Amino acid sequence: MPTELDIIHEDRSLLVINKQSGLLSVPGRGPGKQDCVVSRAKKRYPDLPTQPAVHRLDMMTSGLMLLARTEQAHRHLVRQFQYRLVLKHYIGVVEGKLQESSGTIELTFRLDPDNRPHQVYDPVNGKRGITLWKTIAVESSTTRIEFTPLTGRTHQLRLHASHPLGLDSPIVGDYLYGSGKDGDRMLLHSCLLSFIHPETSRPTTFTAKAPF
């Protein structure tokens, strides 16, 4: 089983991982879903907390992921995510050419229990997700977008990109909400994380260039 991780920063309080596409963030159910960022990190750092992940990325999303190395750091960082104090930027490539250059998407959605893990738009029972977006480049049949999620709902960027009330342009390679096939490389990458360091109390920013 592979054990390598692209660790771009480590200190006494935290690890910053550049997660590859196709790797789970945390263990799933069953023996075939135990290989993930957390399990690989624990092999390298056996003293990690039981639950070191501060947040998660979808399996097919690549990019920056934050792990805490102490329980105190974990509590500090989780609170920042809960109170929306963490700045996150993603680079995504969506199908088609967008006419507008920027905007805000605000949609309520929830899990479809009959089609897990698919999320569905539900203006009555859904939870609100808010995303800022701007066009970086228009290519021959796609558009490169910078997404800034203000909330952290499951599949938020994927649903906001694909839904007719959002961009109506699915992320390239997205097999749940677009025309991609299972196993395709989804073109979505967490490229920036900015937060308050739990030990120094200083603003701290990490970046990782999109590999596409």
**Is 58 an annotated catalytic residue?**
yes
Catalytic residue among 6, 35, 58, 182: 58
Closest CA to 9 of 211, 195, 210, 212: 195
- Torsion sign across C-alpha atoms 174, 130, 59, 93: positive
- Determine the Cα angle at 23 with ends 159 and 130, to 5°: 25
- For residues 22-41, b (16+ Cβ closer than 10 Å) or e, as one string? ebbbeeeeeeeeebbbbebb
Closest CA to 168 of 137, 150, 143: 143
Query: And the tokens for 98?
Result: 């967008």
Catalytic amino acids? 58
